[in-house]
Structure 1
């Protein structure tokens, strides 16, 4: 492998387990539903959890389906639920191997970046709570540039901002549906972390390496 000079990471389900955020946000929504409509908060939580686990976080109608289940769907109520989800005061922690790996990468003078989809203020809050901002040279919120993954623009922006050739960069993500196509098309080396809700999907499309933990990134530097 060419000498690696930069590593760029996805955020959700890569640097932390996104289940932490969803569970907390679902609890907030369940409390709201009880306060507003008297619905059983445990049932609301279970309905949300069932839909999410069955259809994954990529499913756009999670909250629509939940409200329809309880026969209280409206456009205004969808807005309320989405706002609660986005404003959740999360208590999330990085995966246990993330900070040690990042420190070792920085010790080797590897430039570091994050590319993340999602509502900007929600993703900013996550990064703040995780305590990650100080470790990274760039953080790219795809909403800011109007081109979410798997589009190539955010990856090209990372290449330009870090000043590193794409063949000298590793992109680490978890979601084979959106994480790797754009990175690979710009010339990056791609590594899929086999953790989280998409870990059982059997595909190697756009993926150069499968890794089981963050420490494997260090191994790739010397492959």
Structure 2
């Protein structure tokens, strides 16, 4: 249940939540596949197959879809090496542009709440994406893999984010596109959560907070 009067902090996931781009998602996956291949002395195709097999095996063990980062960790890939590959081979500037509608949606929330990003992405790429969308200035702080240390979902990392922002869990609304990754852990702590499938779904926040009827 949402407790609009208690919500003072809104924490957004980034990829798939504030924007959607199959081409960026593909570049991220290819960068990971190639890194797996390089570290194992495999061809790109073999690296792709190994990553897919590891993801399937991990999904069976966890009984939920694992993140790409978690799967790479399972294969012994260092998080820092993975994100160096992302910085070298992922080019959001090819696909993203200023989004004035997103800016207006987010800006209208700031009178009532502070806005934050909590993402498995790295800080340079997160800043680049937000700058391309034209919304970087709207967020009080960005919580990326450098701050958290471990990727979502992780209860300790989540509590570290909440403690750094300040406030009780019920003063938070977490917004994301993946139930198991972005929302399950915050809900367990007592935070409000909102699942979105498209940026237009962000308007639901305004209804939750009573900004629009």
| TM-score (structure 2 length as normaliser) | 0.63
Q: What is the number of residues matched between the two proteins?
A: 171
- Per the TM alignment, residue 90 of structure 1 is displaced from its structure 2 partner at its CA by 1.7
1:144-155 to 2 correspondences below 5 Å: 144-155=147-158
- Per the TM alignment, residue 96 of structure 1 is displaced from its structure 2 partner at its CA by 6.3
1:10-159 to 2 correspondences below 5 Å: 10-22=13-25, 58-59=67-68, 60=71, 85-87=86-88, 88-91=90-93, 92-93=96-97, 97-106=101-110, 108-159=111-162
Q: Which residue of 2 aligns with 1:215?
A: 203
Work out the CA distance in 1 between the residues paired with 2:115 and 2:87. 26
Q: Secondary structure at the match of 1:185?
A: helix
Residue ranges of structure 1 left out of the alignment (5+ in a row): 30-43, 65-74, 196-210
8 Å CA contact 1:13, 1:174 repeated in 2:
yes
Q: Secondary structure at the match of 1:191?
A: strand
Give the superposed CA RMSD: 3.7
Residue ranges of structure 2 left out of the alignment (5+ in a row): 33-44, 57-64
Structure showing greater Rg? 1
- Per the TM alignment, residue 130 of structure 1 is displaced from its structure 2 partner at its CA by 2.8
Q: Which has the higher helix share?
A: 2
